[in-house]
Chain A
């Protein structure tokens, strides 16, 4: 049973395209996150949602729009893709009922995005 799943695992696309990455967790957690890990391996928080509500939006360009249809799903839509968007995107979830980060974060397997 996969706790946090993401699709697709690999995404190769042209500059200027619009793409979406889906994330689902079956852990019953209240909080979900999107992280970006760049080529230098730094992992940075992008967004945090608690019970479908946006908690954190960390200076991410508005080309990135997260959508949470329910608390088990947090999808990431990216408009007008740029070369610099190439990275691995990780979805994660935690139990945290208030959007806090002190609970263990469970990460999905990642989506490797390559923009050509």
Chain B
């Protein structure tokens, strides 16, 4: 089992749609969780951290379920500019090792 698993997609959605991605991780002692965004042929950039209580940033909502070992990202009212690959990122229990998932590709169409 991979340490961090994501559905590679692509998820093709129309503008305005709501889309959700899940990510599962294998290390139950993982400490910190993040979503990064990577545009085609660009570098990854932090989208948001994921907190145990769940957190929201505008149209983006992240949730963490430690019991089931997954994190999710919900995007409401999708925009064309949301088209990108979304990377799930998990640290180990000591917080000194970062593992990236393979990414989920989102394509928002007019």
- Where the two chains meet, the residues of A that have a C-beta atom closer than 8 Å to any C-beta of B are 40-45, 48, 55-56, 90, 99-102, 104-105, 107-110
Contacts and interface: CB of A to CB of B under 8 A. Distances in A.
Given A40-B102, A41-B85, A42-B102, A101 B43 contact: no
Contacts, number: 43
A45 B44 CA distance: 13
Q: Which 9 A-B pairs have the closest CB atoms?
A: A107-B43, A43-B100, A101-B98, A102-B32, A104-B46, A100-B95, A102-B95, A101-B91, A42-B102
B62 interface: no
Interface in B38-64: 42-46
Interface in B84-110: 85, 87, 91, 95-98, 100, 102-103
| Interface size class, chain B | 10 to 19
A45 B91 CA distance: 12
A107 B32 CA distance: 19
Given A41-B85, A43-B87, A101-B32, A109 B98 contact: no
B31 interface: yes
Given A45-B98, A55-B96, A107-B43, 17 more contacts: A41-B102, A42-B102, A43-B87, A43-B100, A44-B100, A45-B97, A90-B43, A99-B96, A100-B95, A101-B95, A101-B96, A101-B98, A102-B91, A102-B95, A104-B46, A107-B44, A110-B43
